[in-house]
Structures are given as C-alpha cells and as structure tokens.
Amino acid sequence: MSDTKSPHHKPCEECERNESVDLERRRFIKISLKILGGLGTACAFFPFLSSLQPSRRTLAVNGPVSVDLSQLQPGQTLTVKWRGKPIWVVRRTQAMLEQLQKNNPELRDPNSRVPQQPSFAQNPWRSLHPEYLVLVGVCTHLGCVPRYHMQDNDHTQTSGFYCPCHGSRFDMAGRVYRHMPAPINLEVPPYRFVNAHTLIIGETL
Amino acid sequence: MKQTVFEWLRVRLPLDIAWRRYFSHYYLAKNLNIWYVWGALALLVLVSQGITGFWLTMFYTPTIQHAFQSIQTLMRDVPYGWLFRYMHTTGASAIFFILYLHIFRGLLYGSYQRPRELVWIIGVMLWITMLLESVLGYLLPWGQLSYWGAQVITAMLGVVPYVGDALVTWIRGDFSIGQPTLQRFFAFHVIGIPVFLSLLTLLHLVALRHVGSSNPDGIKVPKRASPATRAFYPFFVLKDCLAMTIFLTIFCVMVFFYPHLGGYLIDPANAVPADPFVTPNPLTPMWYMAPFYGMLRAIPNKSAGICTMFTAMGLLFLLPCLDKSPVSSMRYKGLYSRLALSLLIISVGVLGYVGINEPTAINQLCAQVATGCYFFYFIGMPWYTRFESTRPLPEFLA
C-alpha cells in the first residue's frame, strides 16, 4: 500500500483490515457531534455579545431626569441633558401657539404622521400640555443641535429652530418646513408631569 | 464552482499541504499517554485567555483612579462581565497547572533530549514569559495584592549592582508603583507580551512538528505510517478533544462555583483597593510562583535569595546539556534518576507550602533543605545519569 495510490488513504492499518466498521453509526456520531458542537459554540457567543449592550450602570445613568419648571417664564427655553442629548423645554407664549396653525401649509408633516413623538403628543401643538414644548434638540438630518431663535422685531421671520449645519428650519412645535434637508420633524421624548411645575423626562405614565 | 474556488486557493495558499503535513500525515508514536494532552490543553487555555482578555480590555480603565472601580462595574453591572473575568482569572491558574504537568512530562520522558532541545528551550521561554505576563496582569485590578505584589517584584531589580535603584525607578516610571507603572503594565500585558507569546507558541509548535513528539518509551519511531505510529488527525486530535471536554467540565465548575477557591485563584486581599500606606498581612504569592518565593524566603540574604530564585528558573534551560543518560524515558532510567526526580517533586511541593504559609523556623529549615534538593536535581544530573545502570531499550514499539 503506497501513498501515491490515493491521496485519502486510511492513516491506520487496523482500519483497513477491520471490515466490520459500522459506517451508519459513525455517520450518526459525526453529525451529532457537528450539531451539538455548533450549538455549543453558538451558545458560547451569547455572553460575549450580551456584554456589549449598555451595562446596568449605563442604564442607571441614563434613567429619567426631573426638571423644575417653576422659574420658566413664557417665551423662555431651558435645556437639560438626557441620555447624553440636549432636551429643550420651551414655555410657549399665546402668540406662538396661535402661529402654529398658520404654519401648516409650509410644513412637510403638519399633522405629525411620522412617529417622531409619543402618541400623547400627536396633536397640533405636539405636546402633553399646549404651553410646554419638550423636544430632543437633535436635527433629524445629520444630528447637529439646532438653535432657538425668537421672532424678529420686524416680524419677517417667526420664532422657531434653525440648524447651523445645513440650514434646516423648524417651527415652534419642532415641525420641519418644506424644502429643508431634514426629512422629518424633531423628536419628542417620552415625558410626564408630576405636578404643574415638575416635569419628568424619559418616562411616560 | 466549489472545485474552482478550492483550486484557486490551493495554488496561492497551500492549506491542504499544511493540513497533510501537520495533521493528517503527521505521525506520532501510538503509545502516547495522558501526559501528552497537556500541550493541547495549554493551547486551548491560551486562546481562551486571549479572547476573554480582549473582552476585558473593552471594560477596563487603566488609571489608578478608575481601575478598581471599572472591575467592580464589570463584575456587577456589565451583563456576563463576571463570567469572562472569572474565566480569565481561573484560566491564569489553569494554564500554570497545565504547564507544570506539561513540564513534568518533559522531565519524566526526557522530552528535552536530542533532537528536541530547541522545543524544550522555547518551551521554558514560554513558561517564563507567561510568569511575566501574569505578574503584569496581576497589577491591573489595582487591589491591595496587585499593588504590593508589583511593589515586591519590581523591588527585586534593586539588587542589580550599581544601577539597581535607578533600574527600579525606570521600570516603575515613578518613585513608587503609580499611574505610569499601571499604564505600562497594561500595555505590556495586553499587547507586548501576548504578541511575543504567540510568536513563541508558533515556534514551539513548528519545531515540535519538525522533530516529532517524544514518547513514553523514549525510542525513535518512523515519521510515517507504520505499526508503531498513528496519524495526528484523527487519532490524537480526538484524544485531545476528549481531554479538552473533561478539562472544560472541571474548568466550568471552577468558574461557576469556586472562582476564588479559598484565595488560590483570586486572593481576598485583592477585593480591597490599593493602599500605598498599608501592606496586607499576610502577603501571599500566587500558588504558581510560591515554590520560587519559598526559595527567596529560605535564603537569609537579599541578593543571594533573588539570585537563587532566578537561577532555579534558568536551570531548566540547561537540562538538554545536563542529562548524560543514554536513555530518555524514566521507564528505562536507573534508580538515581528516579530518586532525583522524586526529590525534585517533593522539594517543589515543600517550597510551595513554605512560600504560601507564614515563615517559621522549621519552615525555613525545610525550605533550605528543599532548595538544596531542587538544585541537586540539576547540578547532580551529569553524574547520577552517567553512573547509574539503565534498563535495556526495546527495539521497537510493540
């Protein structure tokens, strides 16, 4: 028996002599080994991949934040950090609220059809309480932080938000104007009021 | 299609030739026993250490302010963080447990003899490099034992004549163990030493594949299919797989149920953050360094103790020249060799016991005698191997 006869020659002479090898049994063992080994390896991946998700510490740090609104005057804004992002709280004036309805024809999604807000905020003012607007201050185009601007003295431009990166404009409900780079309205985070002046950002009722 | 892809690969990257040479047509003596599975197990644990270590790096912060806290966060807050930390700490002890049995196999069957001298020498280098790797890694959790262990070990360099103190400061990068020390130990532990270890492992295996494994009878077997040999694949691969399965079962029991094992795997003193003003009492070395630490304690002179310790490790390199016996295996060596090896094992055990336990007068005496026995095994080897009567070797493997 020489090596040149077949590249897959049996490495053991006993095996060649032994004609009574149960090939069916051997095949079963091989397949079982492959399946069980594969399953075991797949399971071994689980803890390693699982560890990459946010840890309990990170989840705790990113829990709900409480905001005191008692000092916030009409027309003023307040920025708080939640999950590493700026959250704006704006106390809108009566004039701002009235302006919202007039903006509708110029907006891309005036009725907030795109789910960028909790269901309680899918209304004309995009908030739980019409007076208080709560928004995630991150542009829906490429993630810059837009700036709040008040109404001009000569009334040429209404108050709203303007993104310095690519010029997207949003109204006082965070709704994007037509022909802007940003595709959808600004996001409304989950929030709730504990009482008239205390806001909890990050959880709903 | 499949055939074409394989053909394209084969011409450019001859994996099938490597497979034949190193697995399917690599023939070993058929009488390899349980002492020949430790190499494969060491490789398994080394790979496991690499994976778990890589994962630990994602959660560890190498600063003296945050190192300890980052480990606590890993243990409590990161999903399954405890698992791969315990795998890494248990793995560190497991690899030395395996290596010591692997080295003992070498002593038992004369694996260091011609033509395997280089396999042996690279192996001893691997062992010493792994000791270094474990010393470096031990500082990282920044616990009490981390700090004081590194303090003691770096202070040993102070015995170098003339430049000792400067050398210690240079190694630490600070006047005591501090941020620079932690940061460089981290760099060496996660990148420098592992790269070197991988290279040494590769050389160890390539050299071994070239000369072939020794065997319990210590006689030459042909490097081809014969009645005395079996192919590495599937015979020895399957045997190694069985060994790995049994090993992993025990390893998992340790990781899941006894990750501290009475302080032998993780010392309770390391659950306290490093404090440069309080030395933990007692300061015990890891068990795998305890025999050498025992020698350090046995010699009542600082420089002599440290020199003895390092000489004791270095003597392993010289074994290929020291053994003058005409046979390799303990099966055919004479009474003197058997006594000397038994004496070595007992003395290592005694030194380990003394290294871990409180130094008392009787302990010191035992350690001194044991140190003497340890050195006798090596220094006396050229004589006792030459002048003993060996048994006749068989012509071939039955």
pTM to 2 decimal places: 0.87
Kindly report the nearest CA distance between residue B79 and chain A, in angstroms: 5
Q: Do B230 and A11 touch (CB under 8 A)?
A: yes
| Model confidence at A7: pLDDT above 50 | no
Contact B349, B357 (CB under 8 A): no
Asked whether residue A8 carries a pLDDT value surpassing 60, the answer given is: no
Is residue A9 very low, low, confident or very high in pLDDT (cuts 50, 70, 90)? very low
Tens-place pLDDT, residues A152-194:
666 666 789 999 999 899 999 999 999 999 999 999 999 999 9
Q: Is pLDDT of A3 > 50?
A: no
In this complex, do B231 and A56 lie within 8 Å of one another by their Cβ atoms? no
Size of interface A-B (CB pairs under 8 A): 46
Q: Do A47 and B83 touch (CB under 8 A)?
A: yes
Instruction: Report the first-to-last Cα separation within chain A, whole angstroms.
Output: 81
Q: Of A98, A79, A100, which is closest to residue A89 (Cα–Cα)? A: A79
Low-confidence ranges of chain B (pLDDT < 70): 398
Assess contact for B258 and B58: CB atoms under 8 A: no
Which sign does the torsion angle of CA B54, B261, B265, B250 carry? Answer: negative
Inter-CA distances, B43 with A72, B49, B64, B251, B360, Å: 65, 10, 32, 15, 39
**Phi, psi values for residue A82, rounded to 5°:** -140, 125
Q: Which pLDDT belongs to residue A13? A: 52
Cβ-Cβ contacts under 8 Å, A48 against chain B: 51, 55, 80, 84
Contacts of B24 in chain A (CB under 8 A): 11
Q: How far apart are CA B140 and CA A81, in angstroms?
A: 33
Task: Kindly identify which residue of chain A lies nearest to residue B225, measuring between CA atoms.
Answer: A11
Q: In terms of CA atoms, which chain B residue is nearest residue A3?
A: B225
Q: What pairing do the DSSP bridges indicate for beta strands A160-162 and A147-149? A: antiparallel
Structure tokens that stand for A163 in this block: 């993104």
Token pair recorded at residue B23: 């697995």
Cβ–Cβ of B24/A11 closer than 8 Å? yes
Residue A123, SS3 per DSSP: coil
What does the pLDDT look like over B96-155, one tens digit per residue?
999 999 999 999 999 999 899 999 999 999 999 999 999 999 999 999 999 999 999 999
Query: pLDDT tens digit string along A55-109?
Result: 998 998 899 999 999 999 998 999 999 999 999 999 999 988 988 988 999 999 9
Q: How far is A159 from A153, CA to CA, in rounded Å? A: 11
Q: Residue A160: beta bridge partners? A: A149
* Cα–Cα distance for residue pair A17/B243, rounded to 1 Å: 28
For A51, which of B76, B78, B225 is closest by C-beta distance? B78
CB-based contact B129:B188 (threshold 8 Å): no
Cross-chain CB nearest to A50 (options B80, B233, B234): B80
Q: What are the tens digits of pLDDT across the range B4-17? A: 888 898 899 988 89
Phi, psi of A150 (to 5 degrees): -80, 170
Contact between A191 and A126 (Cβ < 8 Å): no
Which residues from B are below 8 Å from A56, CB to CB?
Answer: 76-78
Using the beta-carbon criterion (under 8 Å), do A51 and B79 form an inter-chain contact? yes
Do the Cβ atoms of B225 and A51 come within 8 Å? no
- Stretch A18-28: mean pLDDT: 84
pLDDT single digits (tens) B161-193: 999 999 999 999 999 999 999 999 999 999 999
Which contacts of B44-52 are long-range, i.e. CB under 8 A and separated by 24 or more positions?
B44/B244, B44/B247, B44/B248, B45/B91, B45/B94, B45/B95, B45/B98, B46/B95, B46/B197, B46/B201, B48/B87, B48/B91, B49/B88, B49/B91, B49/B92, B49/B95, B50/B194, B51/A48, B52/B84, B52/B85, B52/B87, B52/B88, B52/B91
Query: What b/e sequence results for B3-38 when a residue is b if at least 16 CB atoms lie within 10 Å of its CB, and e otherwise?
Result: eeeeeeeeeeeeeeeeebeeebbbbbbbbbeebbbb
Q: Which two tokens stand for residue A107?
A: 């907006």
**DSSP secondary structure string for all residues of B211-240:** H----TT-----SSSSTTEEEIIIIIHHHH
A5: confidence class by pLDDT, cuts 50, 70, 90: very low
CB burial of residue A81 (10 Å; 0-12, 13-18, 19+): exposed
Residue B300's nearest CA partner among B361, B253, B245, B348 is B361
Confidence band for A205, pLDDT divided at 50, 70 and 90: confident
Q: Between A143 and A205, name the one with better pLDDT.
A: A143
Interchain CB distance below 8 Å, A51 and B76: no
CB nearest to B225's CB, from A11, A48, A55: A11
Instruction: Provide the 8-state DSSP code for B156.
Output: G
Cβ of A51 and B81 within 8 Å? yes
List, as one string, the DSSP characters of B334-395.
Answer: -HHHHHHHHHHHHHHHHHHHHHHSPP-HHHHHHHHHHHHHHHHHHHTHHHHHHSSPPPPPPS
Task: Name the helix (H) or strand (E) containing B195.
Answer: helix B193-211
Beta-carbon contacts of residue B345 (< 8 Å; ≥ 6 apart): B104
In chain B, pLDDT over 70 holds for what percent of residues? 100
Sequence-distant (≥ 6) Cβ neighbours of residue B309 within 8 angstroms: B292, B293, B295, B296
Q: Cα separations (Å) of B397 from A42, A68, B32, B222, B330?
A: 42, 87, 11, 11, 16
Contacts of A11 in chain B (CB under 8 A): 24-25, 27, 225, 230-231, 233-235
What are the distances in angstroms from CA B62 to CA A31, B15, B25, B150? 46, 40, 47, 15
Query: What is the distance between the terminal CA atoms of chain B, rounded to a whole angstrom?
Result: 47
Residue B60 · residue B70 · CB < 8 Å: yes
Whose tokens are 């003193």? That residue is B269
Amino acid at B243: A
Q: How far is CA A87 from the centre of its chain?
A: 14
